[in-house]
Structure 1
Amino acid sequence: MIEPSVHLFLADPDTAPFLADELRRAAPNAVQHEVEGLGIATDVPLEGLRLAFARQTLPAAAEIQAASINAWADRIIDATTGVFPDDQPWRLHLWPQYGEGKAGLHRCELIHASLVERMKKRRRRLLRSLVDSDTVFDAQTSLVQCILTSPETGWISTSQAPQAYALRSLISSFPRGEVPLADDKSAPSRAFTKLVESEQRLGRQIEHGQTCVDLGASPGSWSYVPIQRGASVIAIDRSELREDLMRNPRLHFEVADAFKYKPPQTVDWLMCDVIAAPQRSIDLLLEWLREKRMRNFIVTIKFKGQDEYPLLDILKREAPPLCADFHLTRLCANKNEVCAFGVV
């Protein structure tokens, strides 16, 4: 068993080594333990921590055993006792991390049903304050996360408000930190899914009447999203966008260098999915932030291999002081890339 003083950081199997490297750079003296199939457990301090390769974070996670459905329900209720008041809004993220069929999901459904029945009998106020939502956290909501690694073993973590909100760059409001990919066959390419996922994780989206700059816009997947919503887009590229977008009156296309373009005035959104060396994209974002050229931003940092991942530490250090809200995450829709998004 691992002591509950550690935090559990979940990662996709192919990125767990990169998460371990991130943690070592952030806290060289912290003790790490690889949790097979999940990620990394470590005693690293959470304050000020930024992790691009952590899919989800479970603060002060405890490794537990529960022999039955009812025992699991009791353990979840116990995780709330004395931690936050019964009338405080809270969320429950409960999911299986074992097997390949529906057995794990079914077991979680049974645990949830047992939990509801138990709260009806002895914790009605706790049941009434349970929030069923995947919107971004607010400062009043607590969070209980429970992972089943087998029918009888797993992890539990409780984040008392406002911890989930304060650590929203680490703790996803989506269970397991996974966001279903958007689907729109009319978009010029699947690249638009990165933009939509970033909006969902940020908890705000491009709206009608707003102004956007899309750097490296061709063939137009990122411009497509705001255009569909009634926003205006200044698209910057050497190549034109898809023909229907080029005809749209809300799109203004300029043949220009994405790294030299400056908007005539502050825009609502900077969007950038340009193919470039990671250092160039990092420098571009920092320049826009320092000059306050935008109110919100979504920027992809693309990599050719793995050696340049430590360059992300520049953004972790320099971008947050320039932002009201800053996120740096390898999205579910990302390949060998990471998205930086936030509010200035």
Structure 2
Amino acid sequence: MTPHTGLLCYCRAGFEPELAAELTERAAQAGLAGYAKAIRGEGFVRFLGVPGEALARALPLRTLIFARQALALLAELRGLDPKDRVAPVLDALSGHGPFGALVVEHPDSDAGRPLAGLARSFGNALRPALRKAGLLTAQDDARRPRLHVCLLAGDQLLLAAAPHEASPWPLGIPRLRLHPEAPSRSALKLEEALLVLLDADERARLLRPGMRAADLGAAPGGWTWVLARHGLRVTAIDNGPLRPHLFDTGLVEHLRADGFTWQPPRPLDWMVCDMVEQPRRVATRIAQWFREGWCRQSVFNLKLPMKKRWEETVLCLALLRDQAAHPLTLRARQLYHDREEITVFATRAAP
């Protein structure tokens, strides 16, 4: 067993360097000295050298962009005997707990996905043993920390605890299914964004039937469809066609126009944008909408370059803040349904 102090973060495979750069910069800004361990393609990053609880407080998941999940790292176990993986876990957790729930998972990577079956069977064996040892409550208890076991191989795993603000979903991935009426898979991106970037109270308050929205670059209509399902009246801006069934709701108006030049005749509640364009151009356009007072909230995507993606992210968000002419609240995340992009929620900051 190797005791560790630090943070365990899951991410999209291939974006480990971006997450490592983000954690390193953010920790330094918080006055915490540590170092990142990351290998491209593994689907996770460890930031070591600082107690995980301190890192979780300084770098809560809601403020991180390239992390899907952020956990306080407890220990790493190597060389496990396949005949008895349970006993070493019990030994490593001595002095911890009791935990309120157990999650046994694996990185979302090419190497991690084949471990799904082992994760299920190991969880079934570990759960009663933890309860017998007094390390896990008899029933799930959301008031206590959640124990995460991350399998890296048949003989190697990481132990971590979920802070209060950790993602509630395994691996930080909400399981969404594409509705048969959705015009495109891009609908899943906006559905996930509304789940991850807004809390339940904000969704109830900011997505009320009768509100008005614009969807820039709407074709074929995935994001328009999501907004209309919430009862919003949507002006879909795109020179391309929309799926015909979108108009059956009576909530959608299609204008054949350029999303970079069209402007609404009156202020709207929402503007959403998933246009394939240079990220700085998109950030500049979003800033214009807030500067002119054309919308109150926005969800949009920034398509990132192949290199220096963390640096481009920082630059684009700073550009947006500088050019909006009003203080903004920004939340950004690389979602499960994102690819070479991040999704951002922006709204005017409260006075």
Unmatched segments (≥5 aa) in structure 2:
none
Q: Which residue number corresponds to residue 201 of structure 1?
A: 196
1:184 matched to 2:179? The reply is: yes
- What is the distance in 2 between the residues matched to 1:250 and 1:53? 35
Q: Which residue number corresponds to residue 46 of structure 2?
A: 41
CA change 1:228–1:27 in 2 (3 A) is closer
1:277 matched to 2:272? The reply is: no
CA change 1:211–1:94 in 2 (3 A) is farther
CA change 1:129–1:111 in 2 (3 A) is closer
CA change 1:12–1:128 in 2 (3 A) is same
Instruction: Please give the residue correspondences for 1:124-163 in structure 2 after superposition, counting only pairs within 5 Å.
Output: 126-128=137-139, 130-131=141-142, 142-151=145-154, 153-161=156-164
Residues 8, 61 of structure 1: 8 Å contact kept: no
Stretch moving more, 232-241 or 305-314: 305-314
The alignment's TM-score, normalised by the length of structure 1, stands at 0.74
Q: Which residue number corresponds to residue 11 of structure 2?
A: 11
The equivalent position to 1:173 in structure 2, one of 147, 168, 184, is: 168
Q: CA deviation at 1:52?
A: 3.0
CA change 1:2–1:234 in 2 (3 A) is farther
Residues 12, 336 of structure 2: 8 Å contact kept: no
Q: CA deviation at 1:332?
A: 1.5
Residues 96, 108 of structure 1: 8 Å contact kept: no
The alignment's TM-score, normalised by the length of structure 2, stands at 0.73
Residues 304, 313 of structure 2: 8 Å contact kept: no
RMSD between aligned alpha carbons? 3.6
Q: CA deviation at 1:75?
A: 5.3
Residues 147, 156 of structure 1: 8 Å contact kept: yes
- Give runs of ≥4 in structure 1 deviating > 6 Å: 318-321
Instruction: Please give the residue correspondences for 1:1-344 in structure 2 after superposition, counting only pairs within 5 Å.
Output: 4-26=4-26, 30-34=34-38, 37-43=42-48, 47=58, 50-64=63-77, 68-69=85-86, 72=89, 78-80=95-97, 92-97=102-107, 98=112, 100=114, 102-116=117-131, 118-119=133-134, 126-128=137-139, 130-131=141-142, 142-151=145-154, 153-161=156-164, 164=165, 171-202=166-197, 203-204=199-200, 205=203, 206-246=207-247, 248-289=249-290, 293-303=294-304, 305-307=306-308, 309-315=310-316, 317=318, 322-324=327-329, 326-341=330-345, 344=348
CA change 1:225–1:159 in 2 (3 A) is closer
Q: Which residue number corresponds to residue 167 of structure 1?
A: none
Q: CA deviation at 1:301?
A: 0.9
Give per-residue Cα distances to partners, 1:62-105, cap 9 Å, x unaligned.
32468543653675685335xxxx8xxx5543324557151222
Secondary structure of 1:80's partner?
coil
Q: Which amino acid aligns with 1:103?
A: L
Q: Which amino acid aligns with 1:94?
A: V
- What is the distance in 2 between the residues matched to 1:76 and 1:95? 17
Matched-pair identity in %? 22
Q: Which amino acid aligns with 1:107?
A: F
Count of matched residue positions in the alignment of Structure 1 and Structure 2: 316
Q: CA deviation at 1:17?
A: 2.8
CA change 1:117–1:63 in 2 (3 A) is same
Give per-residue Cα distances to partners, 1:32-67, cap 9 Å, x unaligned.
223683532224756368543323222344324685
- What is the distance in 1 between the residues matched to 2:22 and 2:344? 16
Give per-residue Cα distances to partners, 1:309-340, cap 9 Å, x unaligned.
5221135557789455x432222112222111
Q: Which amino acid aligns with 1:100?
A: P
- What is the distance in 2 between the residues matched to 1:100 and 1:145? 18
